[in-house]
Structure 1
Amino acid sequence: MLTTTKIPRVIGHRGAKGFAPENTITSFRKAKEIGANWVEFDVKETEDGVLIIMHDDDLDRTTNGSGKLISKKWEAIKNLDAGSWFSSEFKNEKIPTFDQTISVLGQLNLGANVEIKPCPSRETRTAIAIANEIKNKWPKNLPKPIVSSFSMESLLAAKKIEPNLIIGALFEKLPPDWKKIAKEVKAQTIHLDHEIVTKELIMEIQGEGYPILTYTVNDQTRANYLFELGVSAVFTDYPWKE
């Protein structure tokens, strides 16, 4: 195994995205309450360099704001409602900062997969900021996070800042030169869409020593099948206690 970190088999996707508004503190608390030991979430950057937990490049889908995040300062978005779109029960839920999230994870004793999700053209800048934050503020009581991204540029930049990071290379489809890419970014885990996973693919990846994490698996029967094939972990919108 290329990583000694014990990765749980079930990781809450964007917290517990099926039960609470994604990428919010409430969603992380919900995942813990259900029994998840780890969550996954996306980190982006505001125009003025504040790291926040958000998936989309636009504010429209998950907040009552609108427009491109890349052009917004933190002051303009910190009071947006990031919960009502999901349910009125979560009205006035706020977009959390990465700093705030790290603190809550420490309190909850909740491990994490931190996905670098840069706005276009911010691949290096955002990765460097995230790596520095992890290096300086990650709680001592938590296992080291996995830092993943679809952006290999981001992974290279993050690893340069903090060589001890556990890097997860994210792929929608496994490219023919995946081994070369994984070595270049010093990946220790490979993350794939569960729909492309086959026994042959798993044998190929495991043959190189990489644990395989698959997204987004919302059916426990499917998850169990993937575990039988050799998948190490699944990301799910509906985490369950193992």
Structure 2
Amino acid sequence: MTTLAAWPYPRWVAHRGAGKLAPENTMAAFRMGASYGYRMFECDAKLSKDGVLFLMHDTDLRRTTNGHGAGGEHTMGELAQLDAGAWHSRSFAGENLPTLEALARWCIANRLHLNVEIKPTPGQEEITGKATGELMARLWPQDAVPPLFTSFKPDSLRGSRESAPHIPRGLLVDKFSDGTGEADLRIAKELGCVAMVLNHALWDEALVRRVHGEGLRCSSYTVNDEWEAQRLLDIGTDCIITDRVDLFSPAS
């Protein structure tokens, strides 16, 4: 059995900043998550038309901003003018789409941990991963716990490995490609990942043992029910990503 490397990250991770309590992937959300005591945050990063990494989950701007069309087809100057908060509630109207650099600098200044999900515009998988690695390698202090890169796209993780091989990676999986998870585990190992980050329903005790046995950690998204969180803790998973920053204490 492979010995598990030390896991430097908190067990609890705030999804997109503060889950649903604030507009996702905005600085208001990350500040709110921190106000609940969270020390690690998950965000989604993609490239603008002019090569700036910014925070947004969807390919299209419509759901979370007052813009339209693919975010990656706009320059950062254009994206910065959008309202990314009014869709959530009036109290957040006027929130901007942050750059990944702005979030990283805030995390560094406050000694917080960051999980960057590389969420490329279709067709930009490898270049987005490479740019993410380059940015974090330049910004993140060498004596601090590095960020964790995750992605559903193997090519994005390959890109990040090329530009920042020292920054840990995790493979995101929503559904097993072979029904068992063995093929996905092989991909994670080929990519040099330190973790598998699965849809929480996919984990069972045997799979946790299998993944741990290969030297990888086990993380889950997006866990919002107490009973499911307890199940995941009982079977030995290492990390839980949640929207419910108001329900789960990050100290537990």
What's the CA shift for 1:4?
3.0
Change (3 A) 1:228 1:156: same
1:212 to 207, 218, 227: 218
> What is the TM-score when the length of structure 2 is the normalising length?
0.92
- Quote how far apart the aligned CAs of 1:184 are: 1.4
Question: What stretches of structure 2 of length at least 5 have no aligned partner?
Answer: none
Give the aligned partner of residue 187 of structure 2.
181
1:116-155 alignment runs, 5 A limit? 116-139=118-141, 142-155=144-157
- The equivalent position to 2:198 in structure 1, one of 192, 200, 203, is 192
Q: 1:225 aligned to 208, 218, 231, which one?
A: 231
CA distance in 1, matches of 2:143, 2:96: 26
Residue 168 (1) aligns with residue 170 (2)? yes
Asked if 2 retains the 8 angstrom alpha-carbon contact of 1:3 and 1:166, the reply is: no
Q: Distance in 1 between matches of 2:9 and 2:233?
A: 13
Secondary structure of the residue that 1:136 maps to in structure 2? helix
Alignment partner of 1:241 is 2:250: yes
| Separation in 2, partners of 1:107, 1:171 | 31
* CA apart distance, 1:142: 4.1
Q: Distance in 1 between matches of 2:230 and 2:8?
A: 19
What do the CA deviations read for 1:120-177 (whole angstroms, capped 9, x no partner)? 1101111111100010001457421110000101101111111101010111123331
CA distance in 2, matches of 1:163, 1:97: 22
Match for residue 6 of structure 1 among 5, 8, 20? 8
Give 3-state SS (helix, strand or coil) of 1:62's partner. Answer: coil
- What does 1:62-141 align with in structure 2 at a 5 Å threshold? 62-139=64-141
Aligned twin of 1:37: 39
- Between the aligned residues of both structures, percent identity stands at 35
Greater shift in the superposed pair: 133-142 or 148-157: 133-142
Contact 1:106 1:141 in 2 (8 A): no
TM-score (norm 1): 0.95
Query: SS at the partner of 1:177?
Result: helix
Letter in 2 for 1:148: T
- Tell me which amino acid in the other structure corresponds to 1:86: H
Aligned equivalents of 1:111 and 1:131: distance in 2?
A: 16
CA drift of 1:70 comes to 2.3
Task: Provide the aligned C-alpha RMSD in A.
Answer: 1.4
Secondary structure at the aligned position of 2:14 is classed as strand
- Which amino acid in structure 2 is aligned with residue 35 of structure 1? G
Q: Alignment partner of 1:225: what SS?
A: helix
Higher mean displacement: 203-212 or 41-50 = 203-212
Matched residue SS, 1:8: coil
Q: Aligned partner of 2:75: which letter?
A: K
Partner of 1:202: 208
Give the Cα separation in 2 of the matches to 1:226 and 1:199: 9
